[in-house]
Structure 1
Amino acid sequence: MKQNLLLFSIGIWLFSCQPGAETGSTQISEESIKTHIEVLSSDDFQGRKPFTEGEIKTVNYLVDRFKQYGLEPGNGDSYIQEVPLVELTAMPSETMTIEGNGQKVELKVLEDFVAYTEKVVEKTSLNSSELVFAGYGVVAPEYNWNDYEGLDVKGKTVVVLVNDPGFASGDSTFFKGETMTYYGRWTYKYEEAARQGAAGCLIIHETVPAGYGWSVVRNSWSGASLYLDQTGGSYQPDVLGWITRDAAIKIFEASKVDMKNYAVKSRSEDFNALSLGLSASVTVSNEINRDKSQNVIAKIAGSEAPEEYVIYSAHWDHLGIGQEIDGDSIYNGAHDNASGIATMLGIAEAIANMEKPKRTVVFLAVTAEEQGLLGSKHYAQNPVYRPAKSVANINMDGITAWGPMKDLTVVGYGQSELEDIAEDIAKGQGRYIIPDPEPGKGYFFRSDHFQFAKVGIPALYASGGYEHMTKGVDYVDSLNKVYLTSQYHRPQDEYNPETWTFDGMKLDGELLMEVGMRVANSAEWPTWKEGSEFKSIRENSMK
């Protein structure tokens, strides 16, 4: 890592020099973290899935702990923010028909495409909807890029590429090169298509730029899924979907338009979106079930600027009881994310025993992260605390239980000044800071801090996970591989009293606590860095 990337701004120097910025000798309790994880990841909590007995037990446990620590309710006189959710079981037609130019292409569901809708309707469809190829489907003013310029797609279906124009360009200064930007996320592409008035949006899947294979798409976007209950909203097109690369080639071959090297052409600054001279037809039917889940919110009111907020977040939910694997069907979610919730509770307990911070510190345990960051999305759309008065977000999702780490890995490195504060504190712990080693997979956009970023709030998502203090890089790499291949999103993500340790969680927790307390006790506001997709959002929200 180049040293010049690690220079501090004057603003960060001011943070570290603010009187009262240090947290003092108060420490996080390893025993408390251990107890929280043992309880939350126990079989008794049934995998903490929304709408189950596991949710009731989890929410009650969190509220009881916040009360025990002396924290105030965070939503008026309540610790609860209700999150209206709807479960949609999508049943697309067996085929998607592509017609035009005397050609007819029949795509098979799951094999060639998936289709669904987030609109709460019993049935929606594309009926001979004109297909328009819109490159990457990106409108990015800061990069002087607009794939929709001069294009009218109202009522039409756009076909777009996964990831963003910088990926595989060979140019690290084009967008962010191999590092995925917000514009590369599939969620953004659907949202932009809706803003453009499109009736449908189909994303062309390719394994390398997506970061996952077609099986993930097929399994994730079929069957029952939870969404925010936003009846009548225009936030998404009528039909959303993915198509395989082979299906896209079939479509392009049926078109009269020359689509050779379409990905390369789409990265050109003189690229122009174009109609394919084809139309698509597909129907999606839904089974609809509504219910409400719960975010849990508590606060420690600030002594001098109580109307300014530092928000800690972590998701409490996991996958519940599901398919049996190796004789176990309870998806306990010990690492994902009992570890993050336990660390946040440890921070809350420690700060509650300190002198009151100058700014208000908020602790937000959100629901339905595993279903698409829904609890944090609902909070961002219905904020208890105004985004313009929310100074920072610090998110915890998956804190390593393998001991203290020499590194602090920052997901979304280069985004905000919060990472500079974190680096200063890490140095004091004898640690170093590194960027996420797989930036092309877009992990910055795959946890709850992203919803805060989308409304402009500077967000930090960081923890140790690369080099063990004494056992090195290879030791951690071997454990990571085991976790990803045999434990992640499986019943085997369980607390193991023989192998789990809590000194690393304590170390990360105290670092993140110190970041929050420096911000809470300062008059300064951390900002997004130049080149961040969220800088202009923040600036506009502060006007």
Structure 2
Amino acid sequence: MTRSVPSYPLRRLLPGALLVLAACTSGDPSVTSRATALNADPVAADALAAVDTATLMQHIRVLAHDSLLGRQPGAAGEEKTAHYLEQQFRAIGLAPGNTDGTYTQRVPLVGITVTNAPMLTFAKGGTTQQLRWRDDYVAWTKHVEPTAKLAQSELVFVGYGTEAPEFGWDDFKGMDVAGKTLVMLVNDPPLADTSRFGGPRMTYYGRWTYKYEQAIKHKAAGVLLIHEAGPAGYPFSVVQGKTAEQFDLVAPDRNMSRAAVEGWITLDKAKALFALSGHNLDSLKASAVTPEFTPVPLGVTATVTLENALREVASRNMIAKIDGSDPALRNEYVVYTAHWDHFGVGVPVKGDSIYNGAADNATGTAGLLTLAKAFMAMPVKPKRTILFLAVTAEEQGLLGAAYYAAVPVYPLAQTVANINMDMLSLWGPTSDLVVIGLGNSELDDYAQAIATAQQRTLTPDAEPEKGFYYRSDHFHFAKQGVPAFYAEPGVDVIGKGAGYGRRKRDEYTANDYHAPQDEIKPDWDLSGAVQDLHLLLTMGYRVGNANKGPEWRVGNEFRAVREAMLKRSKQ
């Protein structure tokens, strides 16, 4: 999991639930057909019974065991994890998911480690500023080369680095910035006009990944993001973690189309940089929150040389399937995803150096295997094919999911939905379910109908401004246009009193998240995970049988991508 876990306040039932209930009682034939899909016959009892705490815990114990060495891609832990997943796929009776007759999709990765601790030098005239590695800035390269550098590269402030024609927004205004280094703010422009950039909800334009993609588009030599804890959603210490080995996919050009240097600088050093340039950062930030903003050449150059250790790795996504029962729909797909990887063996914390990732994400991978067992227990399989995809390198930037989305085994135009699992419920059944990106697609209608039957409510992400929808594997399906659903455990734990669930999540975040202490705990109660998996099982079953696939909501940023994809597939 690539996000921190916030605390969630209690919420009332969402208005969307009332829309679903109204649809179920309408006399309109099209609405009645839709309601039938949402409230289809229940999943067979044998399938529901196959989802149990014993099965989940058995898989978690294996996946989180020290012998798997933290499930790091490209290491011995990957070999053991992949062997276990294939063994379980076969035992369950799943067909190989790859079209070559195997359970493996090879994913080419490169591990890049900056081996020096270089100073980053800003210069104007005879005046220089030197930024210390890790303390003042963090930088890396995705070039598969032993060195990467900026040599007196001109700095240009491009505001938020955003080009959003649908909002009448262009931070570049046609300026040629090829060969220059871009300085950018993080997140979306904070506008009072909520019709632009989703109001308080971060759009993809606000993600740091988008900003590095902008550097590629404009052929920039480098890009430096100004770190601010609030807009970024995490402290600079999280950025400092990127000084260790980083993985990336290996493009045919060995990633040479990317900027040579990508990185972050602290807010204090950014203010000093702008002062050196003769500008005030706060004043330029204010101008950047207007569509009239134009890029500002800073009259300052940047120089740095990164020395890199390279390690090319053939990692793997593991994939299995259950063929659809209807020949007319068998070539359409519902994809369940969970990432199998974690951080391997690393810096010891309290005497432990194995990052077991029991919650994150042995639980989700165990859920994937358990759902597969449940689908196999169905006397009649869904009409559409069900795929079970355990992806690699999520913790390195959603790389396994990104690779599948770029090189899909099955056409994405025929992929009707993705349902993602990243850390299951650990502390018992809840009266709520937190849906990240609630309201994005009609998949939420399926979830609402099932949750209502479970006497539960759906609640939205408490911090939409931090863009958590873009931080787990489902995002790369969504980015390509596939309707994608991602829910996190609820926090209103039944019978435990107000605040219990939030307190347990806060404890996990403080003590275990991305640490060797993420191990199986004596107080885990996986009955909540079973409750959530029943919902996800029923959702996939009903989507797999529906007359038509779910769609993005009108106005959603991914709807146009989906429509264009479907149009191309019919040509």
CA distance in 2, matches of 1:316, 1:59: 9
CA distance in 2, matches of 1:351, 1:493: 29
Give the superposition deviation at 1:253: 1.1
Match of 1:353 among 377, 387, 412: 377
Is contact 1:12–1:417 with CA below 8 Å preserved after alignment? no
Is contact 1:331–1:491 with CA below 8 Å preserved after alignment? yes
- Partner amino acid for 1:409? V
Mapping for residues 43-122 of structure 1, pairs under 5 Å? 43-76=66-99, 77-91=101-115, 94-100=118-124, 103-122=127-146
Is contact 1:101–1:255 with CA below 8 Å preserved after alignment? no
Give the superposition deviation at 1:20: 5.7
- Partner amino acid for 1:118? K
Change (3 A) 1:363 1:253: same
1:149 to 2:180 alignment:
no
Change (3 A) 1:205 1:248: same
Change (3 A) 1:90 1:231: farther
Q: Structure 2 unaligned runs (5+)? A: 1-11, 24-29
2:412 aligns with 387
2:27 aligns with none
1:226 to 2:251 alignment:
no
Change (3 A) 1:6 1:430: closer
Change (3 A) 1:33 1:281: same
1:216 to 2:216 alignment:
no
- Partner amino acid for 1:285? E
Q: Structure 1 unaligned runs (5+)? A: none
Give SS of 1:176's match. Answer: coil
CA distance in 2, matches of 1:423, 1:311: 20
- Partner amino acid for 1:363? F
Is contact 1:314–1:397 with CA below 8 Å preserved after alignment? yes
Is contact 1:37–1:342 with CA below 8 Å preserved after alignment? yes
Is contact 1:12–1:421 with CA below 8 Å preserved after alignment? no
1:23 aligns with 43
2:489 aligns with 464
1:181 aligns with 203
Give the superposition deviation at 1:229: 1.9
2:26 aligns with none
Give the superposition deviation at 1:300: 0.6
CA distance in 1, matches of 2:117, 2:555: 43
CA distance in 1, matches of 2:478, 2:358: 26
Give the superposition deviation at 1:246: 1.3
CA distance in 2, matches of 1:78, 1:255: 57
1:487 to 2:512 alignment:
yes
Change (3 A) 1:156 1:460: same
Give SS of 1:127's match. Answer: strand
Per-residue CA deviations over 1:275-327 (Å, capped at 9, x if unaligned) read 12222222222111112111100001112211111000000111122222223
- Partner amino acid for 1:46? L
Mapping for residues 207-286 of structure 1, pairs under 5 Å? 207-220=229-242, 222-232=243-253, 233=255, 236-257=258-279, 259-286=281-308
Number of matched pairs = 539
- Partner amino acid for 1:152? D
CA distance in 1, matches of 2:472, 2:356: 19
CA distance in 2, matches of 1:261, 1:420: 45
CA distance in 2, matches of 1:536, 1:21: 32
CA distance in 1, matches of 2:32, 2:434: 21
CA distance in 2, matches of 1:246, 1:436: 31
Match of 1:363 among 352, 376, 388: 388
1:129 to 2:153 alignment:
yes
Match of 2:502 among 477, 494, 505: 477
- Partner amino acid for 2:548? E
Give the superposition deviation at 1:499: 1.1
Q: CA RMSD in A?
A: 1.9
Is contact 1:101–1:254 with CA below 8 Å preserved after alignment? no
1:199 to 2:221 alignment:
yes
Change (3 A) 1:112 1:482: same
Is contact 1:200–1:238 with CA below 8 Å preserved after alignment? yes
Give the superposition deviation at 1:30: 2.2
Is contact 1:93–1:283 with CA below 8 Å preserved after alignment? no
CA distance in 1, matches of 2:31, 2:264: 43
1:525 to 2:549 alignment:
yes
Change (3 A) 1:495 1:147: same
Give SS of 1:75's match. Answer: coil
Give SS of 2:330's match. Answer: strand
Is contact 1:101–1:256 with CA below 8 Å preserved after alignment? no
Identity %: 45
Give the superposition deviation at 1:12: 7.8
Give the superposition deviation at 1:227: 1.4
Give the superposition deviation at 1:204: 0.5
Give the superposition deviation at 1:369: 0.8
Give the superposition deviation at 1:391: 0.5
Per-residue CA deviations over 1:62-95 (Å, capped at 9, x if unaligned) read 1111111111100020100111111111246622
Match of 1:502 among 497, 511, 526: 526
Give the superposition deviation at 1:142: 3.0
Give SS of 2:245's match. Answer: strand
- Partner amino acid for 2:374? A
Change (3 A) 1:133 1:67: same
- Partner amino acid for 1:228? L
Change (3 A) 1:142 1:247: same
TM-score, scaled relative to structure 1 = 0.95
Is contact 1:22–1:517 with CA below 8 Å preserved after alignment? no
Per-residue CA deviations over 1:147-169 (Å, capped at 9, x if unaligned) read 12222111111110011113xx4
Give SS of 1:306's match. Answer: coil
Match of 2:310 among 288, 291, 301: 288
Is contact 1:252–1:276 with CA below 8 Å preserved after alignment? yes
CA distance in 1, matches of 2:482, 2:498: 33
1:343 to 2:367 alignment:
yes
The worse-fitting range, judged by mean Cα deviation, of 361-370 and 438-447 is 438-447
Match of 2:63 among 32, 40, 49: 40
Give the superposition deviation at 1:106: 2.2
Give SS of 1:35's match. Answer: helix
Per-residue CA deviations over 1:34-72 (Å, capped at 9, x if unaligned) read 111111112222211122222122111111111111111
Give the superposition deviation at 1:471: 1.6
Match of 1:321 among 330, 345, 349: 345
Give the superposition deviation at 1:441: 2.2
Give the superposition deviation at 1:102: 5.2
Give the superposition deviation at 1:328: 1.9
Give the superposition deviation at 1:235: 5.2
